[in-house]
Structure 1
Amino acid sequence: MIGLARLPLGVLYIVAEGLYGLMAYVIRYRQKVVLENLRNSFPEKTEPQIQQIRKDFYRHFSQVMVEILKLAAMSDAELRRRVTIRNPELLAEPFKAGRTVLALGSHAGNWEWILPSGALEFPGKAYGVYKPLSNPFFEDFLYQLRTRSGAHLIPMRDTLRDLVKRRTEGRAMSMLTDQAAGPEDKPYWTTFLNQETSFYSSADRLAGQFNCPVVYVNIQRVKRGYYELVILPLHDGNTPLDKDAFALTEAFARHLERDIQAAPANYLWTHRRWKHKRV
């Protein structure tokens, strides 16, 4: 893999075109899931429009795959050149006051470039909450990629303990909040992309308990190989929160819904996002 990662990104995009053809037309990787997700999310679109989004998604996904691989050999200077951060002061100001900021992200754009880019912008202050993989090879590979710029990783089960331990340290705690939350996760339910959808609600609980500022993070593709990491405010960390209202999770859902509707092909449609049903 390291040998491939050393190839210029332009060459890797040629490889991505081969991956695109393989996934979209040969093995049709999770095509049933992709089409079901798209049809349910965009009932107003015609079938030709759905099929076009499907094709665009597979091309985007193939490019993201080689971009993630490239991280293994990409210089810090190149990563800085390829990712522009908008509104970094929304993190910098709380950091000066020794506050932990909850940064809520999703599987849109190139999500694996978020944490390394944040670590370059804010050295020593970028932490990511993650779920360790069962496969040792991929667990080690992704761990190395995600920490390559000095970021720190926190296993999901240790989130609360880590907040208690480092509650006075100025830093960002990145959380991918768009994953399907099961009944055991005490999910927040809302209508999202025309469907009843469960969301992890830990951001509301943690922000209320530890008075954390909260931001929404989206990494938007500007052109092939270049992204803009957009940071938007959700909560100042001072205003009291109603623990039963889940205002932050609802705000996250609305921001994400807007961004997906603006660029539907750039979301991860292979995920069984709506596998849980409300009871």
Structure 2
Amino acid sequence: MTTSTARNYPWYYRPFDWLLTGLAYLPLSVLYGLAGGLYLLMNYVVGYRKRVVLENLRNSFPEKTAAEIQQIRKEFYWHFAQVMVEILKLAAMSEIELRRRVTIRNPELLSGPFAQGRTVLALGSHAGNWEWILPSGALEFPGRAYGVYKPLSNPFFEEFLYRLRTRSGAHLIPMRDTLRDLVRRRTEGRAMSMLTDQAAGPEDRPYWTNFLNQDTSFYSSADRLASQFNCPVVYVNIKRVKRGYYELVILPLHDGNSPLDKDANVVTEAFARHLERDIQAQPASYLWTHRRWKHKR
């Protein structure tokens, strides 16, 4: 893995950069000890977005008792604390260690279209450890892993996360440049990773469906892009196997060969159903702090 030496943020962030980078060189076993402190802080001291987490869980699992909801909440905060240090570890993690910790299932669903010079839309979510998806894909498919992202307003965190996400050779595409990038690289065999489980507002032309017992808006761009560029589409789930180990499962959503009605939102609906099943299977592994249902139809 390689890192950029450029620093495009104000000088007063440098001590924080040195601190985070130094912590990243600690073994994960030590970092998980720090995660324990983060868990206690988030769960018992500051109650980080506790109201949002509880509201999301209660609405998503109305069949569960209050005690069961509280148990999932605690398990989520513990998982989230571990994911935070795992993301930090990317700053110093070797290729060998990352390969050992992430197993990729069904990679042929990507390698086949790559050989044909096609762009595959890889739809992921904030489940498991979402930040390990792109670096792992870049190791499995060198030069073919691209990720669509929304740049952060803070210059330090924008650059720090950019370094983490691109250390293993992945490429990043600002969200506003997605269409332009597809036009320019439409004949290159590659994967374009998109986390499409965020709350889609009215300006995003959302697709509405029942998801986790709630009326939910989804970004519908995957259907439009797949229809316009004949892109195969896959669903990507990074499932937690045990602490620090994940299974990246790739499943087909659209082959890119048959006609696709961009307004029918077949791909987005299939994505929602896959994600719903995965969340129900491992509820504590989803990012419940996000205000997923803030928009109304």
- TM (normalized to structure 1)? 0.99
Match of 2:168 in 1: 149
Match of 1:182 in 2: 201
Output the amino acid matched with 1:115: L
Structure 2 Cα separation of the partners of residues 274 and 2 of structure 1 = 35
Please identify runs of 4+ aligned residues in structure 1 that moved more than 4 A.
none
Long gaps (5+) in structure 2: 1-19
Of the three residues 123, 132, 135, the one matched with 1:116 is: 135
Match of 1:170 in 2: 189
Following superposition, the deviation at residue 113 of structure 1 comes to 0.1
Long gaps (5+) in structure 1: none
Output the amino acid matched with 2:222: A
Structure 2 Cα separation of the partners of residues 251 and 69 of structure 1 = 32
Match of 2:245 in 1: 226
Paired residue total: 278
Output the amino acid matched with 2:275: L
Output the amino acid matched with 1:260: I
Q: What secondary structure sits across from 2:194 in the alignment?
A: strand
Q: What secondary structure sits across from 1:219 in the alignment?
A: strand
Structure 1 Cα separation of the partners of residues 21 and 184 of structure 2 = 36
Following superposition, the deviation at residue 244 of structure 1 comes to 1.5
Match of 2:272 in 1: 253
Structure 1 Cα separation of the partners of residues 170 and 27 of structure 2 = 24
Output the amino acid matched with 1:64: V
Match of 2:284 in 1: 265
Match of 1:3 in 2: 22
Of the three residues 58, 62, 74, the one matched with 1:39 is: 58
In the alignment, structure 1 residue 48 sits paired with structure 2 residue 55: no
Q: What secondary structure sits across from 1:191 in the alignment?
A: strand
Structure 2 Cα separation of the partners of residues 221 and 193 of structure 1 = 20
Q: What secondary structure sits across from 1:168 in the alignment?
A: coil
Following superposition, the deviation at residue 243 of structure 1 comes to 1.7
Structure 2 Cα separation of the partners of residues 242 and 130 of structure 1 = 26
Of the three residues 100, 124, 130, the one matched with 1:105 is: 124
Per-residue CA deviations over 1:185-229 (Å, capped at 9, x if unaligned) read 000000000000000000000000000000000000110000000
Match of 1:75 in 2: 94
Structure 2 Cα separation of the partners of residues 247 and 239 of structure 1 = 12
Following superposition, the deviation at residue 242 of structure 1 comes to 1.4
Give the 5 Å matches for 1:133-144: 133-144=152-163
Match of 2:151 in 1: 132
Structure 2 Cα separation of the partners of residues 241 and 3 of structure 1 = 49
Output the amino acid matched with 2:46: I
Per-residue CA deviations over 1:43-83 (Å, capped at 9, x if unaligned) read 00000000000000000000000000000000001000000
Structure 2 Cα separation of the partners of residues 118 and 77 of structure 1 = 14
Match of 1:242 in 2: 261
Output the amino acid matched with 2:239: Q
Structure 2 Cα separation of the partners of residues 47 and 3 of structure 1 = 41
Match of 1:86 in 2: 105
Match of 1:29 in 2: 48
Output the amino acid matched with 1:223: K
Q: What secondary structure sits across from 1:91 in the alignment?
A: helix
Structure 2 Cα separation of the partners of residues 38 and 200 of structure 1 = 22
Percentage of identical aligned residues: 86
